[in-house]
Chains A and B, each alone.
Chain A
Amino acid sequence: MYPADRRYTKDHEWIIVSGNRGRVGITDYAQKQLGDVVFVESPDVGRTVTQGQSAGTIESVKAVSEIYSPATGTVVEANPVLATKPETVNSDPHGSGWLFEVELTKPGEIDSLMTNEQYAELVK
């Protein structure tokens, strides 16, 4: 259910790190809680985000939720698919429904995040 190639936050985001770049998304558990996603407001490219701080919002039909960045760094890309197909967050939260990518400035802080097994335990 929760892939082992990435780390997870208690706020239900995930991050896959490759080199000093991290790709961020929300978990399957989170998308189920939100329901149908209709609008994603990712942070602008070039913006600095901080681990645990708000980096944008996801709106479902029902409500608006904050996206908390799993890592500190500079935003280098936002998923262009979500502008026209925000529902991709529901259909493929761990894959093509990713939210944004950051250039990590504190790669060490990733170690503080949960493994897939720890996360699966949290949402059990």
Chain B
Amino acid sequence: MNQSSTEQLKKTPLNARHRAHGARMVPFGGWDMPVEYSGIVNEHLTVRTKAGLFDVSHMGQIEVAGKDALAAVQKISTNDAAKLSVGQAQLSGLTTPEGTLIDDLLVYRLAGDHYMLVVNAGNIEKDYKWIVEQSRQGGDVAVVNSSSRYALLAVQGPAALGIVQQLTSVELAEIQYYWFAHGEVGGVRSIISRTGYTGEDGVEIFIPPASAERLWNTILETGADAGIVPVGLGARDTLRLEAGMRLSGQDFDETTTMLEAGLGWIVGWNKGDFIGRVALEHQKSEGLTRKLVGFEMTAPGIARHGYTVYAAGAEGIVTSGTQTPFLKKAIGLAYLPIAATANGSEFEIDIRGRRAPARVVPSQFYKRPRS
């Protein structure tokens, strides 16, 4: 996410609030975003043990509506949207004809013929353009970039539901994982979604931008006793990596296929045609030559994005890597030659000229305890 210094960064409705409260700000995907408030480690641990509040208003919303909306969504995205009931969401991929990833997204079924696609901040324009192009001649379908109509707050952590429940009459426990409901939170009209990007329980709340600061402050006040803290993108990144969630543009992009990125589980093989299907079926039957896997370092050292990997006589590349605050291990994701991708398989990573040993492990490094 390189940003030229002259380019005007976009701001969420909470930008002034973040600055006034001492967040460290960085450019991310064209946006001026908080990277940390009280420190990445503290924020990360608080989300794992209590709760954290995230401003993720930079995420984009693209709505697809009309009699032929389902057909359009089925064509452009990999997962089977026909399985969605109204009030349900699914993770999916936006693919090229080669089966590589333009972006990943969440598909929400808002109404019978009305879907909302939630896409990554840096890709909003690109995704929107692609979806519009692919939906032309798609019959009765309208595609609207409604990103500016929503602010998005995420409340995540074991105490998250308890905090938000104090602010709404919607029974949050009755919203299943990857379902959503309409209602008021703190007097603000909301879509309350039982989703997140941290590996913890929690909700993401879509609200009108004008109400964002009020609800942000209300949630922090309400959750104060439970220990809620504001969380920046730094901990969002370490939390998602610890939970084995891939990051668009970093762990996959238009040079890597759904299957290589380990996202075959969100390909709806039983549905009809979609963009990239032929290429993915071909790759599935031919077999992969490389795959994204989780790894942990077995000697001191931290592998970072872009480091070269030596495995099974060939090279690979690290796409994400950090020292995780909760597990206190150096972990990451890397594309490895297929011969080296079995769990427990050992390989080496070039850490600034020194070869350090690492081992393949399941990429869901952290799994929250379920009650």
Taking a contact as CB atoms under 8 Å apart, the answer to whether A61 and B323 are in contact is yes
Asked whether any CB of chain B lies closer than 8 Å to the CB of A39, the reply is yes
Pick from A61, A62, A63, A64 the residue with the most CB of B within 10 Å. Answer: A61
Q: Which of A35, A63, A64 contacts B36 (CB 8 A)?
A: A35
Within the assembled complex, what's the spacing in Å between the Cα atoms of A39 and B351? 13
User: For residue A61, which residues in chain B have a CB less than 8 angstroms away from its CB?
Assistant: 40-41, 44, 234, 238, 322-323, 325
Q: Which of B40, B300, B301, B352 contacts A62 (CB 8 A)?
A: B40
Within the assembled complex, what's the spacing in Å between the Cα atoms of A6 and B358? 40
Q: Which of A38, A57, A62, A87 contacts B234 (CB 8 A)?
A: A62
Within A4-43, the residues touching B (CB, 8 Å) are 35-36, 38-39, 41
Q: Which of B35, B302, B352 contacts A38 (CB 8 A)?
A: B302
Asked whether any CB of chain B lies closer than 8 Å to the CB of A77, the reply is no
User: For residue A87, which residues in chain B have a CB less than 8 angstroms away from its CB?
Assistant: 41
Number of A-B contacts (CB under 8 A): 39
- Min distance, Cβ A1 to any Cβ of chain B, angstroms: 18
Within the assembled complex, what's the spacing in Å between the Cα atoms of A41 and B352? 12
Write out, one digit per residue, whether chain B residues 327-358 have a CB within 8 A of any chain A CB (1) or not (0).
00010000000000000000000001000000
Taking a contact as CB atoms under 8 Å apart, the answer to whether A38 and B304 are in contact is no
Within A62-76, the residues touching B (CB, 8 Å) are 62-64
- Min distance, Cβ A117 to any Cβ of chain B, angstroms: 26
Taking a contact as CB atoms under 8 Å apart, the answer to whether B325 and A39 are in contact is no
- Min distance, Cβ A19 to any Cβ of chain B, angstroms: 32
Chief secondary structure at chain B's binding surface: mixed
Asked whether any CB of chain A lies closer than 8 Å to the CB of B39, the reply is yes
Taking a contact as CB atoms under 8 Å apart, the answer to whether A39 and B352 are in contact is no
Asked whether any CB of chain B lies closer than 8 Å to the CB of A44, the reply is no
Say whether, besides A35-B36, A36-B39, A59 and B302 are in contact (CB < 8 Å).
yes
Residue of B nearest to A54 (CB): B352
User: For residue B41, which residues in chain A have a CB less than 8 angstroms away from its CB?
Assistant: 36, 38, 61, 87
Say whether, besides A57-B352, A59-B323, A61-B322, A36 and B300 are in contact (CB < 8 Å).
no
Q: Which of B301, B304, B325, B352 contacts A36 (CB 8 A)?
A: B325
Write out, one digit per residue, whether chain A residues 73-107 have a CB within 8 A of any chain B CB (1) or not (0).
00000000000000100000000000000000000
Within the assembled complex, what's the spacing in Å between the Cα atoms of A63 and B40? 12
Chain A contact patch, size range: 10 to 19
User: For residue A59, which residues in chain B have a CB less than 8 angstroms away from its CB?
Assistant: 302, 323
Chain B contact patch, size range: 10 to 19
Taking a contact as CB atoms under 8 Å apart, the answer to whether A64 and B300 are in contact is no
User: For residue B36, which residues in chain A have a CB less than 8 angstroms away from its CB?
Assistant: 35
User: For residue B35, which residues in chain A have a CB less than 8 angstroms away from its CB?
Assistant: 62
Within the assembled complex, what's the spacing in Å between the Cα atoms of A57 and B81? 48
Within B273-324, the residues touching A (CB, 8 Å) are 300-302, 304, 322-323
Say whether, besides A59-B323, A61-B322, A61-B323, A39 and B40 are in contact (CB < 8 Å).
no
Residue of A nearest to B323 (CB): A38
- Min distance, Cβ A83 to any Cβ of chain B, angstroms: 8
Taking a contact as CB atoms under 8 Å apart, the answer to whether A35 and B40 are in contact is yes
Residue of A nearest to B35 (CB): A62
Within B224-282, the residues touching A (CB, 8 Å) are 234, 238
User: For residue A41, which residues in chain B have a CB less than 8 angstroms away from its CB?
Assistant: 300
Within the assembled complex, what's the spacing in Å between the Cα atoms of A57 and B354? 13
User: For residue A62, which residues in chain B have a CB less than 8 angstroms away from its CB?
Assistant: 35, 40, 234
Within the assembled complex, what's the spacing in Å between the Cα atoms of A41 and B42? 23
Pick from B304, B323, B325 the residue with the most CB of A within 10 Å. Answer: B323
User: For residue A60, which residues in chain B have a CB less than 8 angstroms away from its CB?
Assistant: 40
Q: Which of B39, B300, B304, B330 contacts A35 (CB 8 A)?
A: B39
Would you list the 7 A-B pairs with minimal beta carbon distance, nearest first? A38-B323, A36-B41, A61-B40, A59-B302, A36-B40, A36-B39, A39-B302
23 contacts between A and B (CB under 8 A): A35-B39, A35-B40, A35-B234, A36-B39, A38-B302, A38-B323, A38-B325, A39-B300, A39-B323, A39-B330, A41-B300, A59-B302, A60-B40, A61-B40, A61-B44, A61-B322, A61-B323, A61-B325, A62-B35, A64-B302, A64-B304, A64-B352, A87-B41
Given contact pairs A39-B301, A59-B323, A61-B238, a sample of 15 additional A-B residue pairs in the complex whose CB atoms are under 8 Å apart: A35-B36, A36-B39, A36-B40, A36-B42, A36-B325, A38-B41, A38-B302, A38-B323, A38-B325, A39-B302, A39-B330, A57-B352, A61-B322, A61-B323, A63-B304
